[in-house]
């Protein structure tokens, strides 16, 4: 099964690009479309604890450093203000790390800085939060500064699983977090879930999803647990202490997820993402639509339509950087071939699929491509609808393989 890379183009795309650079080979450029809307991503590189599966960029040395980091990130925003001067800002996303560790003083400074941009038509301001940081006081703070969407790191409803993952919260805190957030008036709530966890049966997974139905939330991002380099999980698997579920089980749990959430009224609009009508994630959708975004903070990624850029994934080096020098980020200009590959990979993940008209801007679609599409249609991995190439549920299980077959 090819679920592992789904994560890499999910809600955490900027930070994951940075850490792994696994996708550099597929990224390319020369986008000629007019960019009218842009997003801002802020990477808050601190966490209270280290989850066993996580390879994102963060430090657990929060105290003393978060003030300096906020100051430095604001300096970066000022330094890069010109990049967004002619853009309408559509979305702002606080990701990490754990942005819910930010205090009032930090958030106030960030939001003061945003006033320098065209944010009159902003639609979505999301903050990733951990359930144990959700309190009446924090919710009221987040609301008061303008955050209108919460992405809550629930991950599991099972205390044993949460403990095994070294999460900083338990299932009771999960339920309380949702109740408090709703009571505080948040009506655009997303949660993150993980499946494919060792010893998690299909029945466990079904029961968790049934419980979540009762929460009546608007959006769910669900990722298959993957073993990333240099994580405690990898160490444990390599030592033979942890046995990961086989591909068949992971595939079954992906199908359970898709079928159940569809029956609950969620639209499976991207491989790892589900939304109630009109609640697709605006910021994350801009990654899949390859719109412009500016990523601020260590390890954050940016895209301007032609170039991808990633900031250094080291807090100390970032803090010591002089922004007028160029040694605190790397960048890559995208070429025609890479543009094609990126378009195929990202659009194939979405419910709308690849629009063949978009491919025509690269020239005539060649015979070999058409033959491959025909073969995937025969296998029932792809549906062709009018001008679009769309993955079936079976196809979604093999998205990376299918995309790689369609690459230039």
Percentage helix, strand, coil for the chain under 3-state DSSP, each rounded to 5 = 45, 20, 35
Name the residue with tokens 């009109």: 278
Q: Per CB under 6 A, which region of 92-100, 236-244, 259-267, 383-391 contacts ligand SF4? A: 92-100
Q: Which is nearer to ligand SF4, 16 or 391 (CB)?
A: 16
> What are the CA-CA distances from residue 265 to residues 152, 186, 343 (Å)?
20, 20, 28
Q: Which is nearer to ligand SF4, 41 or 58 (CB)?
A: 58
Tell me, by CB under 6 A, how many residues bind ligand SF4: 11
Site track for ligand SF4 across 128-147, x = CB under 6 A: --x-----------------
Closest CA to 31 of 407, 334, 284: 334
Q: Per CB under 6 A, which region of 16-24, 26-34, 93-101, 368-376 contacts ligand SF4? A: 93-101
Q: Which residues contact 7 (CB under 8 A, 6 or more apart)?
A: 16, 223, 224, 226, 272
Q: Which is nearer to ligand SF4, 47 or 152 (CB)?
A: 47
| Dist CA 402 CA 369 (whole Å) | 11
- Of 10, 28, 96, 297, the residue at the interface with ligand SF4 (CB under 6 A) is 96
Site track for ligand SF4 across 2-41, x = CB under 6 A: ----------------------------------------
- Of 6, 56, 303, 376, the residue at the interface with ligand SF4 (CB under 6 A) is 56
- Of 10, 14, 39, 97, the residue at the interface with ligand SF4 (CB under 6 A) is 97
- Of 51, 129, 189, 222, the residue at the interface with ligand SF4 (CB under 6 A) is 51
- Of 41, 58, 254, 318, the residue at the interface with ligand SF4 (CB under 6 A) is 58
Q: Which residues contact 8 (CB under 8 A, 6 or more apart)?
A: 16, 17, 20, 22, 23
Q: To the nearest whole angstrom, how small is the minimum distance from the Cβ of residue 308 to ligand SF4?
A: 22
The reply to whether 47 sits near ligand SF4 by the rule CB under 6 A is: yes
CA 247 distance to own-chain centroid: 23
Residue 95: how many other CB atoms lie within 10 Å: 25
- Tally of helices (H runs) and strands (E runs) in the chain: 16, 15
| Pairing status of strand 219-224 against strand 124-129 | unpaired
Q: Which is nearer to ligand SF4, 233 or 402 (CB)?
A: 233
Q: To the nearest whole angstrom, how small is the minimum distance from the Cβ of residue 176 to ligand SF4?
A: 18
Span 146-175, contacts to ligand SF4 by CB under 6 A? 153
* Phi/psi at 189 (5° precision): -115, 130
Span 245-304, contacts to ligand SF4 by CB under 6 A? none
- Which 3 state secondary structure label does DSSP give 292? strand
Q: Which residues contact 175 (CB under 8 A, 6 or more apart)?
A: none
| Dist CA 215 CA 65 (whole Å) | 36
Q: Per CB under 6 A, which region of 47-55, 106-114, 308-316, 395-403 contacts ligand SF4? A: 47-55
Residues engaged in binding ligand SF4 (CB under 6 A): 47, 50-51, 54, 56, 58, 96-98, 130, 153
């Amino acid at each position: 099964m090819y679920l592992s890379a789904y994560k890499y183009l999910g809600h955490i795309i900027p930070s994951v690009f940075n850490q792994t650079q696994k996708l550099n080979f597929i990224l390319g450029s020369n986008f000629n479309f007019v960019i009218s809307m842009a997003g801002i991503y802020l990477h808050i590189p601190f966490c209270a604890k280290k989850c066993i599966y996580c390879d994102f960029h963060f430090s657990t040395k929060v105290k003393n450093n978060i003030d300096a980091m906020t100051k430095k990130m604001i300096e970066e925003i000022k330094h890069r203000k010109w990049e967004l001067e002619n853009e309408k800002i559509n979305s702002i996303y606080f990701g990490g790390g754990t942005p819910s560790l930010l205090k009032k003083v930090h958030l106030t400074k960030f939001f003061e800085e945003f006033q320098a941009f065209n944010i009159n038509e902003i639609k979505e301001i999301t903050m990733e939060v951990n359930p144990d940081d959700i309190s009446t006081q924090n919710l009221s703070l987040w609301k008061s500064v303008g955050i209108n969407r919460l992405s809550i790191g629930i991950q599991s409803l099972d205390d044993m699983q949460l403990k095994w993952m070294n999460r900083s919260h338990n299932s009771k805190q999960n339920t309380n977090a949702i109740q408090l957030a709703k009571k505080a008036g948040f009506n655009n709530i997303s949660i993150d879930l993980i499946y494919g966890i060792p010893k998690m049966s299909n029945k466990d997974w079904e029961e968790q999803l049934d419980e979540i139905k009762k929460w009546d939330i608007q959006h769910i991002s669900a990722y298959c647990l993957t073993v990333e380099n240099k994580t405690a999980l990898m160490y444990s698997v390599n030592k033979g202490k942890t046995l990961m579920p086989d591909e068949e089980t992971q595939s079954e749990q992906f199908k359970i997820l898709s079928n159940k959430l569809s029956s609950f009224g969620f639209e499976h609009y991207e491989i790892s993402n589900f939304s109630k009508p009109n609640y697709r994630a605006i910021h994350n959708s801009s990654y899949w639509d390859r719109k412009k975004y500016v990523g601020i903070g260590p390890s954050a990624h940016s895209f301007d339509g032609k170039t991808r850029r990633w900031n250094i994934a080291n807090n100390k080096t970032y803090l010591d950087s002089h922004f007028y020098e160029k040694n605190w980020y790397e960048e890559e200009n995208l070429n025609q071939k890479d543009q094609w590959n990126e378009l195929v990979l990202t659009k194939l993940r979405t419910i709308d699929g690849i629009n063949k008209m978009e491919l025509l801007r690269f020239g005539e679609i060649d015979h070999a491509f058409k033959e491959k599409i025909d073969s995937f249609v025969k296998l029932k991995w792809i549906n062709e609808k009018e001008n679009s190439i769309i993955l079936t549920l079976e196809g979604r299980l093999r998205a990376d393989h299918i995309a790689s077959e369609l690459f230039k």
